[in-house]
Amino acid sequence: MNLEEYFKRIGFHGSYDKLDLATLKLIHRQHIMSIPFENLSIHCGEKIIMDLEVIFNKVVRGTRGGWCFENNYLFGWVLRQMGYDTTTLGSRVFDTSINDFESQEVHLINKVIIEGKAYIADVSFGLSGQIREPLELISGKEQPQDGGIFRFICKDNLWMLEKTGRRTEVPNPEFAKSSLVNRKETRLIHCFSLEPREPDHFFQVNNDLQTDPTSLFTNKSICSLQTPTGFTALVGLIYSEVIFKPDEGVDLYNMKNITEDELEAVLMEKFKVKLQNKMQAVNRRVVLEF
């Protein structure tokens, strides 16, 4: 495990002598555009474990992505190796099916201190909730990014992340009413406290999310990669290319079905993912909006 291999994987060729915000923003953006958010191991009969060596071999040396317990865990290690003041936090994701935050901390994020200011780095939320660059941890401040306007709201020491996006257009009439398309312009993403977490805090939930038959991740195979103009996503056999059009106040969702025979080629061409084991594409009726 070394930084040079990681930097090559994300296409970062600059200097990291300065532990400044500009460098953090750059490697954050390079990560999300090079390494997919995906849970395909679950649907290939593979076990996801929170072991940095295993994650490094899979994500950096291999042709894979991962979910937050892999990507953000790895990213935290990278930041510490570089010398950034980094703390691991746990967050509770907003669940639209219950209109509330989940009871468990099912998401891992990183807090980074630079020149006395705190920032939240998250390279593995995926889809439209993905931040392109770290967000300053300040309540009420609007922070525009490519995908919309993000803001933190702090109440009783609980930090909530909210996003205001744009209206959606779905040209393919077959998907005009798709449950995958998020049509709520302002929505809550997740919430967290500033209590530091050790990796073992997430071991049980990392296991539960890949084994619980009611989990989103056992019911849907997901692969998503950010692009300069939006993001791509594969949920089951539904492939989407989302294009952000801020000047027109709209996000364009180009969606289509692919076949099992096309699956391997789509994963390689659109996500640079090559699986070692055969995957079963899954898209059962569990709420997921992107």
Q: Which of 107, 190, 223, 251 is catalytic?
A: 107
Share of the chain above pLDDT 90, in %: 92
Write the pLDDT tens digit of every residue in 75-89.
999 999 999 999 999
Q: Which of 31, 43, 68, 223 is catalytic?
A: 68
Q: Which of 28, 31, 43, 122 is catalytic?
A: 122
Going by pLDDT thresholds of 50, 70 and 90, the confidence category of residue 184 is confident
Mean pLDDT score, 207-235 = 97
Write the pLDDT tens digit of every residue in 260-275.
999 999 999 999 999 9
Write the pLDDT tens digit of every residue in 213-225.
999 999 999 999 9
Going by pLDDT thresholds of 50, 70 and 90, the confidence category of residue 288 is confident
> Strands 107-114, 117-121: parallel, antiparallel or unpaired by DSSP?
antiparallel
* Contacts for 100 with CB less than 8 Å, ≥ 6 apart: 94
- Calpha distance 135→117 (Å, rounded): 11
pLDDT of residue 169: 96
Instruction: Residue 226: name the closest of 65, 12, 14 by CA.
Output: 65
- Calpha distance 290→288 (Å, rounded): 7
* Contacts for 192 with CB less than 8 Å, ≥ 6 apart: 89, 90, 91, 92, 105, 109, 158, 159
By the 8 A CB rule, do 118 and 111 touch? Answer: yes
By the 8 A CB rule, do 147 and 244 touch? Answer: yes
C-alpha distance from residue 134 to each of 24, 40, 79, 144, 279 (Å):
8, 26, 13, 11, 33
pLDDT of residue 112: 99
Mean pLDDT score, 106-126 = 98
DSSP string, 69-137: HHHHHHHHHHHHHHT-EEEEEEEEEEETTTTEE-SS--EEEEEEEETTEEEEE-S---GGG--SS-EE-
pTM: 0.96
CATH architecture of 3-271: 2-Layer Sandwich (3.30)
- Average pLDDT of every residue of the chain: 96
Asked whether the predicted pLDDT for residue 97 surpasses 90, the reply is: no
- Per-domain boundaries in the chain: 3-271
Q: Is 191 a catalytic residue?
A: no
Asked whether the predicted pLDDT for residue 286 surpasses 80, the reply is: no
pLDDT of residue 289: 76
Q: Is 154 a catalytic residue?
A: no
Asked whether the predicted pLDDT for residue 146 surpasses 80, the reply is: yes
Mean pLDDT score, 228-242 = 98
pLDDT of residue 163: 98
> What proportions of the chain, in percent to the nearest 5, are helix, strand and coil?
30, 30, 40
Going by pLDDT thresholds of 50, 70 and 90, the confidence category of residue 16 is confident
Q: Is 43 a catalytic residue?
A: no
Mean pLDDT score, 26-34 = 98
Write the pLDDT tens digit of every residue in 152-168.
999 999 999 999 999 99
